[in-house]
Amino acid sequence: MTKAAITGRPRTPWRPVAVYAVIAALWIMFSDMLAALVARSVGHFTLVEILKGWLFVAATSVLLYALIRRDTAALRRSEALHRTSLESMADALFLIDAQGRIVEANRAVRTMAGLAVEAMPEDIERLIDVLDIRHPDGRRITPDEAPSRRALRGETVREEALQFRRPGGEVLHIQVTASPVAAEEGAEPALAVVVIRDVTALKRLERMRDEFLSVAAHELRTPITTIKGYAQLLDRWTPGGHEPREGKAFKILNHQSDRLSELVQELLEVSRLQLGRLELRRQRFELGGLVGEVIERMRGVSSLHRFVLHQQGPILVDADPDRIEQVLTNLFDNAIKYSPDGGDIEATVGVREGLAVVSVRDQGMGIPRERQGQLFERFYRAHAGLGTDRGGMGIGLHLSEQILQRHGGRIWFESEEGKGSMFAFSLALAEPVHDEQGAHP
Ligand code: ADP
């Protein structure tokens, strides 16, 4: 491949220009002298001069023609190269102009969409219609939300998850990336480049994994419950009490089967969540009360830590108390787990910008800055491979984020390595209840 093909810059024809300049200079300098030598009379000289002019025009025309021909051939070659690259791409690629017209589409567009050339719509709105393009939750995308339209407004859309239906009825899951193209810097985008990746096979595999996790976790629950049950029974039934060593063994057995059942429960929850089988049972409750209950429970888990609760009056929310308790338990569990030397664990429950906000702050090891970006990703463990690794599956925070998102809330954190972390979440406040006259109760 040539350098120009790699850099994308056209070649400047310096060599032919230099050759032309030298020949032209020599011609100008010596052609008249030559004509004077050759001419035998003034009339003859004029004729030679005219011939010389014609010769010059003919020579420069031939040179120009050769140059243009060479550049056109280079242009054609580069266009063919680009076209072949576009056509051999597995990803679908569109160019959309400012009016929403599809000005370019590679072959993958038609194969992915399952459309013949003559059935290909000419504009993007029509394509959205024909393919019934939707968000992953099943909502139809509006033309304004279309990645190409957003790119034409100057936004760069990265790997947005969407889905569409092929004419045969098959649903395809796609990831769409769209970028604006402007003729010059600072100008309005004239085109949008849209690249679509088919991730259906990947989704199918993810679904199989989640189904497997769900079945495995479900199957594991029964034997774990049985082991725990018998461990408790043996602990209570041994006539005349235990040998100290036996007593310790039963305690460990009990504790570890509890841990195992928590892990299995987490796996079950995360697979349910992915499969869309996590239900919310909303009811009105006081958030601070729930935080207080979880703190009481946590006091029994760790005597190394001092738990403090700050609350500004009662805060009512309409949420699923079991799920919110699950989030709180995870945040406190982590606060304990990642501050092994003890310290204060401070919870605050309050109202900020019209939302109920709970925060849990610890004075533990914190999270290295470069590992903070993926914290809510499924199975991500920020301390994996470090000396500070405390084990775990990296599910709790992902699950918490999903639970809060389903409530319309959100979760965030601040952390500094060696100084501790603060995790907080927000939920909408419960709507005040109005009686018949519209007065507050
Ligand atoms: P797990 O704790 O089971 O690994 P989580 O999803 O609850 O999974 O947490 C993901 C990762 O985030 C943890 O592995 C840990 O690296 C980091 N983390 C979570 N909470 C804290 C905290 N309070 N302090 C420091 N690191 C934390």
Ligand 1 centroid vs 209 CA: distance in angstroms?
Answer: 23
Which residue lies with its CA nearest to atom 7 of ligand 1? 396
Which residue lies with its CA nearest to atom 25 of ligand 1? 366
Q: Please determine, for residue 229, whether its predicted confidence score (pLDDT) is greater than 90.
A: no
- If you average pLDDT over residues 348-359, what whole number do you get? 96
Ligand 1 centroid vs 265 CA: distance in angstroms?
Answer: 17
Instruction: Give me the sheet containing 92-97, strands edge to edge.
Output: 102-105, 92-97, 189-198, 171-182, 157-165
330 lines ligand 1 (CB under 6 A): yes
Query: What phi and psi values does residue 31 have, to the nearest 5 degrees?
Result: -65, -40
User: Domain spans of the chain?
Assistant: 3-87, 92-198, 204-274, 283-428
Alpha helices in 162-243 (DSSP H): 200-237
267 lines ligand 1 (CB under 6 A): no
Closest C-alpha among 396, 433, 426 to residue 408:
426
Q: What is the pLDDT of residue 4?
A: 46
Ligand 1 centroid vs 382 CA: distance in angstroms?
Answer: 7
Q: What is the pLDDT of residue 1?
A: 43
pLDDT in tens, 97-129: 999 999 989 999 989 988 888 888 899 889 899
The radius of gyration computed from the CA coordinates of the chain, to the nearest angstrom, equals 37
State the average pLDDT for the chain: 87
Which residue among 367, 376, 389, 419 has the greatest number of ligand 1 atoms within 8 angstroms of its CB, and so is best to mutate?
A: 367
Ligand 1 centroid vs 398 CA: distance in angstroms?
Answer: 10
Architecture of the domain defined by 283-428: 2-Layer Sandwich (3.30)
- If you average pLDDT over residues 342-367, what whole number do you get? 96
Length of the chain: 441
- If you average pLDDT over residues 154-161, what whole number do you get? 94
Matching CATH number, 204-274, of 1.10.1740.10, 1.10.287.130, 2.60.40.1840, 3.60.20.10 = 1.10.287.130
Q: What is the pLDDT of residue 101?
A: 93
231 lines ligand 1 (CB under 6 A): no
106 lines ligand 1 (CB under 6 A): no
Q: Please determine, for residue 237, whether its predicted confidence score (pLDDT) is greater than 80.
A: no
Kindly give the number of the ligand 1 atom that is closest to the alpha carbon of 365.
Answer: 25
162 C-beta neighbours (distance < 10 Å), count: 20
The encoded tokens of residue 286 equal: 């006081």
Contact between 157 and 147 under an 8 Å Cβ cutoff? The reply is yes
Q: What is the pLDDT of residue 150?
A: 94
Ligand 1 centroid vs 267 CA: distance in angstroms?
Answer: 16
Contact between 400 and 330 under an 8 Å Cβ cutoff? The reply is yes
The model's pTM: 0.65
121 lines ligand 1 (CB under 6 A): no
Q: Which amino acid does the sequence have at 75?
A: L
Q: What is the pLDDT of residue 10?
A: 54
Kindly give the number of the ligand 1 atom that is closest to the alpha carbon of 375.
Answer: 12
335 lines ligand 1 (CB under 6 A): yes
424 lines ligand 1 (CB under 6 A): no
Q: What is the pLDDT of residue 248?
A: 80
Q: Please determine, for residue 306, whether its predicted confidence score (pLDDT) is greater than 60.
A: yes
Nearby residues of 305 by Cβ (< 8 Å), 6 or more positions away: 298, 335, 336, 339, 342, 343, 344, 345
Checking 127-136 for CB contacts under 8 A at 24+ apart, the result is 127/102, 131/164, 131/165, 131/166, 132/164, 132/165, 133/162, 133/163, 133/164, 134/162, 134/163, 134/164, 135/161, 135/162, 135/163, 136/161, 136/162, 136/163, 136/173
Checking 179-185 for CB contacts under 8 A at 24+ apart, the result is 179/151, 180/151, 180/152, 180/153, 180/154, 180/155, 180/156, 181/95
Contact between 355 and 319 under an 8 Å Cβ cutoff? The reply is no
- Kind of pairing, strands 305-311 and 343-352? parallel
pLDDT in tens, 126-145: 989 989 999 988 899 998 89
362 burial via Cβ count (<10 Å: 0-12, 13-18, 19+): buried
In whole angstroms, what is the distance from residue 328 CA to residue 423 CA?
A: 10
C-alpha separations of 250 from 111, 253, 301 in Å: 63, 5, 18
pLDDT in tens, 25-58: 888 888 888 888 887 888 888 888 888 889 888 9
In whole angstroms, what is the distance from residue 146 CA to residue 192 CA?
A: 11
Architecture of the domain defined by 92-198: 2-Layer Sandwich (3.30)
The encoded tokens of residue 215 equal: 């079945």
Query: What phi and psi values does residue 239 have, to the nearest 5 degrees?
Result: -65, 140
Confidence label for 252 from pLDDT (cuts 50, 70 and 90) = confident
Q: What is the pLDDT of residue 153?
A: 93
- Helices 200-237 and 244-274: crossing angle, nearest 10°? 160
